[in-house]
Structure 1
Amino acid sequence: MPPLVYVCVRPQAGAAAGEYESFRAAMRRDDLAQLDLVREPLPDDVFDRYAGFVVGGSPFNVTDPESTKNDVQRRVEADLERIAARAAAGTTAGMFTCYGIGIVTRMLGGEVTRAYPEDTGPTTVTLTAEAGSDPVFGGLANSFTALTAHKEGAGAVPEGATLLATNEDCPVQAYRVGDRLYATQFHPEPTGRAFTQRMAIYRDDGYFDARDYDLIAGRVLAASVTEPARLLHAFARHVDR
């Protein structure tokens, strides 16, 4: 079976390298391939080469004014929509995280809005009743801690999607489309240590007050974030099946 592939959409090479290692460890896949959409377009044969895609986060925002998006961001968004459309149709599998949930939501005709940002750090995520029978979310605790840092979110569950996880600050935390496409607003891949290293890279990008780095990092390191990694491992097994 072709391997799973990590899809990088981060211009910052250090953040991308750390994110890849986090996905590889959480999914328990030493053979996890890499595809960097910032530096190369989606290959024509990509859906023959890989059984499934895991899409990382990005400092890009779907809601950025079109006039401010450069050619790379526009191409990245178009290529991600191609992957999402194939996963929605059931011809591949996809797990889109953070920035990626905005791509999927827009592709499905839903609203992406700046009304539901979340502060950098740990948050509590609660599963819906529908998550209990889901092949990926079904084995998780009903409520768990995850890590977030985002400026936008889905305004509502897109038509045709099943809400799987929620919380008060950002009600659309995760959903499924069909049985092959998943999207999460929270970051499922990093350990606390890996997240603080990413925070250091983005400390001046407006996600948090740079002066509060040590305070926020302390909260992150004190949080238990075991369930999100179990989610990614379950997704990898789901793709295998």
Structure 2
Amino acid sequence: MSTSTGGGVPASRFLFLGTRAGHSIADAEYEAICHYAGLPTSRMDRVRLEEGPMPQIDLDRYAGVITGGSPFNSSDPITEKSVVQQRVEADMSKILDEIVARDMPFLGACYGVGTLGTHQGAVVDRTFGEPPGTGHIELTDAGRADPLCVGLPDKFDAFLGHKEAVRELPSHAVLLATSGPCPVQMFRVKKNLYATQFHPELDSTGLIERLQEYRHAGYFHPDELDRLTREALASEVVHPQQILKNFVEVYA
């Protein structure tokens, strides 16, 4: 991971690690993260892990690393994981070894819970999976004091949809946000390693794109698409995006 890919890069650059197959949905996620983080794409390098093995990455080039959602589930039995999924998980685990050792700024949205959580010894399973839609999130005392949650109200709505979640955090992790249906919605490890179960990059348009893309992926019954689309359009999810903006402002 230590071989540089070039020189002269300012420390305010960030790295995005994507795992979504399909160019349109992968591009939409990347562009949404850049948009709400307040970064031009010229300052957010991207690696699509589902397309091939992790290239050599010099983490010294970056102020922080962000990863988004995924069709992969860390808790799936090994016999159900494709060759691609197993490779992606091995690559993510390897780079997390270095990121965690450095306590390097890291923000994982949705799949970040499975990857960082599993890496740190959390129990990740399907106990607290949630269908796509709006979730009611509440900050903990630690969350209200955390710099990534500055500007968030104590309670806010967020878009989510996931088959797995953290059932039990390791003792060294700090719970930052919770909800009734899913107790672990956001946590921190060490000082700079974060994961959210909800999607801070999603607005209603983005959620509808995901609903259409994953209509037959087992997150919801296909006949529910119209209802979920109407609910997305009627939702007012305006606060979670602040987390992306805060991440860049704190670490750039």
**For the aligned residues, what is the CA RMSD?**
1.4
Partners in 2 of 1:82 and 1:181 — Cα distance? 15
Q: How many residues were matched structurally?
A: 240
TM-score, length-scaled by structure 1 = 0.95
1:16 corresponds in structure 2 to: 26
Partners in 2 of 1:199 and 1:153 — Cα distance? 19
The gaps in structure 1 that reach 5 residues or longer are none
2:57 corresponds in structure 1 to: 45
Three-state SS of the structure 2 residue aligned to 1:155 is: strand
Contact 2:103/2:190 (CA < 8 Å) preserved in 1?
no
Report the residue type matching 1:136 in the other structure: L
Partners in 2 of 1:131 and 1:138 — Cα distance? 9
Runs of 4+, deviation exceeding 6 Å: none
- Inter-CA distance 63–231: structure 2 relative to 1 (3 Å threshold): same
2:167 corresponds in structure 1 to: 155
Partners in 1 of 2:34 and 2:227 — Cα distance? 28
CA drift of 1:71 comes to 2.2
2:177 corresponds in structure 1 to: 165
1:182 matched to 2:194: yes
Report the residue type matching 1:124 in the other structure: H
Three-state SS of the structure 1 residue aligned to 2:149 is: coil
CA drift of 1:137 comes to 1.2
Three-state SS of the structure 2 residue aligned to 1:41 is: coil
2:219 corresponds in structure 1 to: 207
Three-state SS of the structure 2 residue aligned to 1:112 is: strand
CA drift of 1:140 comes to 1.1
- 1:26-105 to structure 2, matched below 5 A, reads 26-30=36-40, 31-105=43-117
Partners in 1 of 2:29 and 2:114 — Cα distance? 19
The gaps in structure 2 that reach 5 residues or longer are 1-9
Partners in 1 of 2:207 and 2:21 — Cα distance? 17
Contact 2:103/2:191 (CA < 8 Å) preserved in 1?
no
Partners in 1 of 2:173 and 2:100 — Cα distance? 10
TM-score, length-scaled by structure 2 = 0.91
Partners in 1 of 2:249 and 2:97 — Cα distance? 21
Contact 2:136/2:158 (CA < 8 Å) preserved in 1?
yes
Partners in 1 of 2:58 and 2:89 — Cα distance? 16
112, 119, 131: which one pairs with 2:131? 119
